[in-house]
Chain A
């Protein structure tokens, strides 16, 4: 009688969990699956958030900057540059502007021609860097004024290459979100298979339970609770590992660009905490559906 009383004191003997024997294989499979999927989900989330930031940053930074390129004969270059600077001084929406120095232009060309190229001997255009205020500039009006004051000046407001860059970043963000959804679906599929395997392996147990009057919901609850907890525990472990891996990525550096910025920033580090409860919900729904579907075939 000792075990009976110990059971009654130590735990609820009416818990559906106890009526189903522990199944090591499906337990390990479910925990492993949930951990692996959570690990991938952390990276998908990091990718999605990083590309979102990137899209915002590119969009914001490029939208507020423009370049004026002056291509003129050497004897007119200084005069046209002065004219452009004078125009910019009186243009509403211009926050700051400056003509790039020879060294700065050489630095821009270094990646393409190498450091030894005598750029002084090349007929390079003069570049003027300009940033806009929050209200922005009237690009068409400025173009008209430039064509009148400095015929060799061309305004490049970056629209031409800003749009595809932002679109690419937006697509990456969408791909990250799609990856998260696919990870959820794959997790549900694998947990369903594991649950079905557990149900099939416990066919005799289920028949006995039905024989003594167990309702489908009681039997399903035993499996559902077990798989939900396994999904949560596995996803918790996978999330922690994923976070450690993301934290181990190199810090974001201006020179590193996109790849070194792949990670979480600020309160975004909290987002992965959603993954374990989400995995538990997926496991709950998948196991319950699988269990009730299978039990309908047993009288």
Chain B
């Protein structure tokens, strides 16, 4: 699904990530952890082709990402759902329209019934007509999750999704992510919240990756 072979990523000549090799299998649940500034967000951006590796080979769905055109990348984003810490909505559109945005841009029909069902799944049915600035932090994260999964992507990438949430709301979001994974989807969450990782390990089989000293390491024994 996602395969990295000796991938490096550098900004302005300085290596931020180096010599990273990894295979992410379909249906797996990964946590990506590491100190702030270690490169977790950069790693995720590589995984949905917002950034290109400086060297090495990165394969997404059996396609070499450096050989992909702009339209190929746009199509790829239909198979990769992304949840950012700051969510990034179009503030002039309603929550429902924001959630349906991936369908809108790909020209696929919007089934109002399914959309209502999805909003109900993330607990935002009552907020469908609200504008994003009217939502709380937890509601925004759940709306971003709904938008990320509306096309039923093969993989979901979440960057610090609980960073601005209280523990109760974090657990609620984690529950949704675990449910999504149980549908056979791959999930990767970048977080530095070790409690969240420990809680998730009680619910689902997870693999924990750590970025330290610019390299990717397997973690887990210490969690």
Q: How far is the CA of A211 from the CA of B75 in the complex (A)?
A: 11
Least Cβ distance of B207 to chain A in Å? 25
Residues of B within 8 Å of A207, CB to CB, are 88
B110 touches A8 (CB 8 A): yes
Q: Does A14 contact B (CB under 8 A)?
A: yes
> Which of B22-30, B31-39, B97-105, B195-203 makes up part of the contact surface?
B97-105
Binary per-residue interface labels of chain A (200-243) against chain B in the complex, 1 for a CB within 8 Å, 0 otherwise: 00001101111111111010000000000000000000000000
A299 touching B51, Cβ below 8 Å: yes
Minimum CB–CB distance for A275 against chain B, Å: 33
Cβ-based interface call for A19 (8 A): yes
Whether the Cβ atoms of A205 and B90 lie closer than 8 Å is: yes
Contact of A296 with B70 in the complex, beta carbons under 8 Å: yes
Interface of A is mostly: helix
Inter-subunit contact A7/B106 (CB<8 Å): no
Q: Is the CB of A4 within 8 A of B112?
A: yes
- B 137-151 contacts with A by CB, 8 A: 147, 151
Query: What A residues does B107 contact at CB under 8 A?
Result: 14, 218
Q: Is the CB of A4 within 8 A of B97?
A: yes
B90 engages A208 (CB within 8 Å): yes
Whether A145 sits at the interface, judged by CB under 8 Å, is no
Count of A-B contacts judged by CB separation below 8 Å: 91
* A108 CB-CB contact with B under 8 Å: no
Q: Known interface pairs A210-B74, A213-B75, A296-B70. Does A3 touch B129 (Cβ–Cβ under 8 Å)?
A: yes
Among the listed A7, A8, A213, A299, which residue makes an inter-chain contact with B105, where contact means beta carbons less than 8 Å apart?
Answer: A213
A3-B91 Cα distance, complex, nearest whole Å? 15
Asked if A1 is at the interface of the complex by the 8 Å CB criterion, the answer is yes
Q: Please report which residues of chain B, range 74-122, place their CB below 8 angstroms from some CB of chain A when the two chains form the complex.
A: 74-78, 82, 84, 88-94, 96-97, 100-107, 110, 112, 115-116
**Interface band, chain A:** 20 to 34
Please tell me if the beta carbons of A299 and B73 are within 8 angstroms of each other in the complex.
yes
Please indicate the chain A residues that have their CB under 8 angstroms from the CB of B92 in the complex: 21-22
Task: Kindly state whether residue A160 has any CB partner on chain B within 8 Å.
Answer: no
| Separation of A5 and B94 alpha carbons in the complex (Å) | 12
Nearest A residue (CB) for B104: A14
Residue from B50, B74, B96, B106 in contact with A4 in the complex, judged by beta carbons closer than 8 Å = B96
The interface residues of chain A lying within 8 Å CB-to-CB of B51 are 299
Say yes or no: A299 contacts B49, CB within 8 Å: yes
Contact in complex: B116, A13 (CB < 8 Å): no
- Known contacts A21-B90, A207-B88: A212-B147 contact under CB 8 Å: yes
The bracket for how many chain B residues form the interface is 35 or more
A290–B196 Cα distance when bound, in Å, is 46
**A217, closest chain B residue (CB):** B71
Whether A211 contacts B129 in the complex (CB less than 8 A), given A5-B112, A299-B49, comes out as no
Q: Is A18 an interface residue (CB 8 A)?
A: yes
Contact with A along B146-189 (1 / 0, CB 8 A): 01000100000000000000000000000000000000000000
Complex CA–CA separation, A8 to B100 (angstroms): 12
**Contact status B110-A13, CB under 8 Å:** yes
Q: Is B128 an interface residue (CB 8 A)?
A: yes
- Inter-chain CA distance A21–B78, complex, in Å, is 23
- Known: A4-B129, A13-B97, A19-B93. Contact between A213 and B88, CB under 8 A? no
Contact between A214 and B129 (Cβ–Cβ < 8 Å)? no
- The smallest C-beta distance from B122 to any residue of chain A, in angstroms, reads 15
In residues 146-193 of chain A, which contact B (Cβ within 8 Å)?
Answer: none
CA distance A122 to B97 in the complex (A): 93
Q: How far is the CB of A217 from chain B (nearest CB, A)?
A: 8
- List of A residues within 8 angstroms of B151 by Cβ: 213
Residues of A within 8 A of B (CB): 1-5, 7-8, 13-14, 18-19, 21-22, 204-205, 207-216, 218, 296, 299
Q: What 9 pairs between A and B have smallest CB-CB spacing?
A: A213-B77, A214-B105, A21-B92, A3-B129, A212-B102, A4-B96, A215-B74, A213-B78, A208-B88
- Beyond the given A4-B94, A19-B90, please list 5 additional residue pairs across the A-B interface where CB-CB is below 8 A: A3-B128, A4-B128, A14-B103, A210-B77, A218-B107
Task: Give 18 pairs: A residue, B residue, CB < 8 Å, sorted on A.
Answer: A1-B128, A7-B97, A14-B103, A21-B92, A208-B89, A208-B101, A210-B74, A211-B50, A211-B77, A211-B82, A211-B84, A213-B74, A213-B77, A213-B78, A216-B70, A216-B74, A218-B105, A299-B50
